[in-house]
A and B are shown apart, each in its own frame.
Chain A
Amino acid sequence: MGRPVSAVWAASRAGVRRRRMQTGSIGLVVALATATLVFGLGLLSASHSMFDDAFAKARGAHAAADFDAARTTEAQVAATAHGSGVTAAAGPFRTVTLARPDGPSEVPMQSEGLTVAGRADPGGPVDRLSLTAGRWVRGPGEIVLRGKPMGPFRLGGKVTSPGRPELTVVGFAVSATGGVDGWVTPAQVAALRPDGFLMEYRFARAGDPAEVRRSLNAAAAGLPVRGYDSYMTAKREFEGRFNQLVPFITVFGILALTVSVFIIGNVVSGAVISGFRHIGVMKALGFTPGQVTSVYVGMVAVPTAAGCAVGLAVGHLLAGRMVANLSENFELPSAGGVSLPLEAAAGGGVLALAALAALVPALRAGRLPAVQAISAGTVSRRGRGRRVQRWLVRTRLPLPVGLGLGLPVARPARAAVTLAGLCLGVTAVTMGLGLHQTVTKIMTADTESRTSVRVGVDPRNPAGSMSADRLAATVRAQPGTAHVTASVQRPMRVPGLATGASAETYSGDYRPFLGDNLVRGRWFTGPGEVVPSEAFMRLQGLHVGDPLSVQVDGTRLTLKIVGAFSHPDTDRFMLDAASLPAAKGRPEPPLLLVIVKDGTDPAAYAAQLNKTGASAGLFAETAAPDLADRALFSGLFLVFSLIICTAAALGVLNSVLLGARERARDLGVLKAVGMPPRRVVLMMVTSMAALGVAGGAIGVPLGVLAHHGVVELTGDLLGSGMAAPWIHVYGWALLLLPACVGLAVAVLGAWPPAVRAAAVRTATVLRSE
């Protein structure tokens, strides 16, 4: 028994050594495909359970309760940790809400202020914090803020609040629990005059908001709770933002899986099929069908196993990094990438797939009589293909081009598989480019992203009673101002929305601020017109032109719907401020939005306005758009496109490699009759370039269709609809690039084996034949 096994092993090893480039390409393809698979699985898994994973890993609190320090003692609050239904608790942490300072602040603060907790360290049994930048607080005068550094929100920034000591930002941390905006040392918080206790709980039962409320009531055991943050709120907030990306990530994930499976199947089975002739010879020497099968499966198994191991490691790192980026982007603690069982399953799947891809043709070869196996290893001898080849050679095309164009015809099945791989690559790149454009447009389509500088009035400032008109006049007088609009949020009652709605009113020069996010109709141009969110329109079954009765400050009025903008929330309405009656009582201070003139630096503009407008009690901030999602998506797109294109190029390389091996004699003959090496290269590259062009021609329209489908589906799933400019993103330039990708990938993939084939010594080839 030992000898046949060693013969099989020796034959396998010899095969691996003899076919170094093919062995290398199998290893590389499997590594790439495995990495893509793990990466894709990581993204798919993240898209469905990222919050839950991050929440579990950080042992997030189901509820963070705020107790009034004036009505409870620290001991009483601490005792709630042992309340009924509490499985773990952290705290009490003393808290204080720092009021927003007058005028500009280096650290963006909500109008309700910045809630700070005294916490000795970021670990603990509940709500483990992850530092995203800097370090944890060590002493007085230091603060760690929630989130990550961004724009003016950076390490070393100062947090100032009237009557409180200044705090320096030494770190940023993310938490899976809400309730607190920053952390200081327990000693520091005592100096900030705390007025509350924060307790963080994990409950045995916390499946829905009602259960969280019941569990918290049971734990508090009658102690007065000033307010609490449920993890459900954070989860919904996360899902609201993340769900927009889910369809895109899912599509990319599925594409990555498809490409992986496809390329492995193609390359591995191709390697075995190309060995049919050798298989026939082995059988003639006395190898049994089983041994022959083992030799070929063994030959493929070595690079497959090595590639799989490398791919798992690379995929693990890539997916971990990507999930960490995603988590960081959504201000969640890192969920730690792909789970090991999932990676093990991916590795097992790749090996099984490769084994299957090798076994099917190897078994078929095993069953073939030796003579047939030998003849199966040569190129096709009959059929329409030959007529096409003959026709191509007889045309006026240069000979290498004519011969090259005929090569795919000789192996139609292999050419079809290679073409399919190229199509898949081009489709993915086309769709990816389109999705990238779509996401960019979505992120920059709203009013906020068109604004360069925001100008507001501090309501506590005595001068803050300045009217919107006077404020606007002050801003308009500032050099560099191009457009100014005043935006005010007004509560509004709308039939069908029990919780009320928010009217975003605009006055002044508002047209340039209205974005490209209209799903239907047009923007309002004056009083009496309203543009609701598309989600509201769908919920109510309304159409453009329909009247809408609303109630503002007790006054009923009817507005005309002239359009709808893309938004998943049903309670958003945009309209001209003059459509609504004047606000009763003290009006909400307006927020002025400014677009600066071309060439004006928004930061310098804001600084100047802060200087000149300080006496008027106004402050200006640059509107730094949050482009993190966009950067993230660009990164995703780039990584996927590169992986998919490389995999497609390797498919081409494999195809040329197999073709060159099968046609070694033909190439030798051509060289012997005087074809120079560069024309041999041209011929081999032409054979794939033709497929590349065809791949581009088929893949681009498929990619466009897939893009439109995915974007429209996303709009429907979110209920927000998609604005036409977000769907029709393709211009000629954007279509030309992926069309060229097919050709480029084909040429790049074909080049190395073509050069290699052209360099083979003619005498050797002809002698060995």
Chain B
Amino acid sequence: MEIQEAEMVVRLEVVRKTYGGVAALDGVSLSVRAGEAVAVMGPSGSGKSTLLNMVAGLDKPSSGKVVVGGDDVSGMGEAALARFRRRRVGMVFQFFNLLDDLPALDNVALAGRLVGVPARKARARAAELLEELGLADRRDAYPAVLSGGERQRVGVARALMNRPALLLADEPTGALDSATGEQVAELLLDLNRKGQTLLLVTHDEALATRCATRVVEFVDGRIVREAELERGGSWGVR
């Protein structure tokens, strides 16, 4: 039992989140084990992004408990949440959310600087990551001149900068064409194969079935279906 608990990276206990009386999450309980790749699917407004925000510590539940890496996120103050975000999780956004005034290298290094890594070391680690992700020659390019796929890879590199226990991805291919989306999916799959725990929110069934080891489907703030998957298998979203 203790071993199981230690392996548990994310645990949501009867989490409820309401906005102006409307429940975005309605008593959700969910666990993610270390090394798992969980895809959360569902139609718009089903509560997927709300769930991701709870896990990332960007939002707090109205009731229930969110535990990530052993820390109860729901009870943390703003400063503790900031510490939690920079140490425990890495986030990949649909629209990349890079800082436009900084080149790729500094966008990635920024996450390291926030945890106190000296500027030079942070840049060296960022350069390594960019090289791993095939962006060695684009390290000094600003986001505006990068393609969508390149920007998303910079976003992934930034998310991995502090070697987080959990990588969160919110529609990581949503703003990309299919070919570029394919590259990003391959990247996520590769990361998970190397042991990176992944919680993925997506509309894209192909992405989910390709990358995830488990799929959870949300409708109206509730989990309506959950199943382990063989990678590349079929899910059949309703």
Chain A residues in the interface with B (C-beta under 8 A): 378-379, 381, 385-386, 389-390, 393-396, 399, 406, 410, 665-666, 668-679, 761-763, 766-767, 769
Contacts and interface: CB of A to CB of B under 8 A. Distances in A.
A674 B111 contact: yes
Given A673-B110, A676-B79, 14 more contacts: A386-B101, A390-B103, A393-B110, A669-B99, A671-B58, A672-B56, A672-B85, A673-B114, A673-B158, A674-B82, A674-B83, A674-B111, A674-B115, A677-B78
Contact of B97 (A393, A399, A668): A668
A137 B178 CA distance: 99
A675 B114 contact: yes
Contacts of B49: 767
A672 B58 contact: yes
Q: Majority SS of interface residues in chain A?
A: helix
Contact of A766 (B97, B99, B100, B114): B97
Return the 7 tightest CB-CB contacts between A and B, nearest first. Answer: A674-B86, A676-B82, A674-B85, A763-B58, A763-B53, A669-B97, A763-B59
Given A672-B58, A767-B49, A389 B102 contact: yes
B102 A393 contact: yes
A675 B97 contact: no
A507 B158 CA distance: 87
Contact of B85 (A378, A396, A673): A673
Contacts of A665: 97
Contacts of B97: 665, 668-669, 672, 766, 769
A378 B100 contact: yes
B100 A394 contact: no
Q: Which of B83, B87, B102 has the most CB of A within 10 A?
A: B102
Given A381-B144, A386-B142, A666-B99, A671 B82 contact: yes
B150 interface: no
A396 B99 CA distance: 20
Nearest to B49: A767
A673 B115 CA distance: 10
A762 B142 CA distance: 23
B119 interface: yes
A762 B84 CA distance: 14
A379 B101 contact: yes
A176 B103 CA distance: 74
Contacts of A394: 106, 119, 123
B91 A672 contact: yes
Contacts of B82: 671, 674-677, 679
B34 to A, nearest CB: 21
B101 A410 contact: yes
A769 B95 contact: yes
Q: Which of B49, B114, B142 has the most CB of A within 10 A?
A: B114
Contacts of B119: 393-396
B101 A762 contact: no
A388 to B, nearest CB: 10
B218 interface: no
Contacts of B84: 674
A669 B83 CA distance: 14
A4 B87 CA distance: 53
A672 B91 CA distance: 8
Q: Majority SS of interface residues in chain B?
A: helix
Contacts of B59: 761, 763
Contacts of A678: 79
Contact of B58 (A393, A676, A766): A766
A399 B100 contact: no
A679 B59 CA distance: 19
Contacts of B101: 379, 385-386, 389, 406, 410
B118 interface: yes
Nearest to A388: B101
B113 interface: yes
A300 B119 CA distance: 44
Given A381-B144, A674-B83, A676-B79, A390 B106 contact: yes
Contact of A379 (B100, B103, B110, B113): B100
B146 to A, nearest CB: 13
B186 to A, nearest CB: 24
Contacts of A677: 78-79, 82
13 contacts: A379-B101, A390-B106, A393-B106, A393-B113, A394-B123, A410-B101, A672-B56, A673-B111, A674-B82, A677-B78, A677-B79, A763-B53, A766-B93
Nearest to A671: B82
A166 B226 CA distance: 107
Given A378-B100, A381-B144, A399 B114 contact: yes
B111 A399 contact: no
A271 B111 CA distance: 33
A386 B79 CA distance: 29
Q: Which of B56, B110, B158 has the most CB of A within 10 A?
A: B110
A440 to B, nearest CB: 49
A769 B106 CA distance: 22
A505 B137 CA distance: 90
A485 B93 CA distance: 87
Q: Which of B53, B82, B100, B103 has the most CB of A within 10 A?
A: B82
Contacts of A389: 101-102
Nearest to B118: A396
Contacts of A395: 119
Interface in B121-175: 123, 142, 144, 158
Nearest to B97: A669
A670 B101 CA distance: 13
B100 to A, nearest CB: 6
A739 B91 CA distance: 44
Interface string B19-47: 00000000000000000000000000000
A381 B98 CA distance: 13
B62 to A, nearest CB: 14
Contacts of A676: 78-79, 82-83
B108 to A, nearest CB: 10
Interface in B52-97: 53, 56, 58-59, 78-79, 82-87, 91, 93, 95, 97
A378 B103 CA distance: 17
Contacts of B99: 666, 669-670
Nearest to A677: B78
Contacts of A670: 99, 110
B2 to A, nearest CB: 29
A390 B85 CA distance: 24
A410 B123 CA distance: 22
B45 to A, nearest CB: 12
A358 B125 CA distance: 48
A555 B111 CA distance: 94
A674 B114 contact: yes
B106 A381 contact: no
Q: Which of B98, B113, B158 has the most CB of A within 10 A?
A: B113
A381 B113 CA distance: 23
A232 to B, nearest CB: 69
Nearest to B159: A673
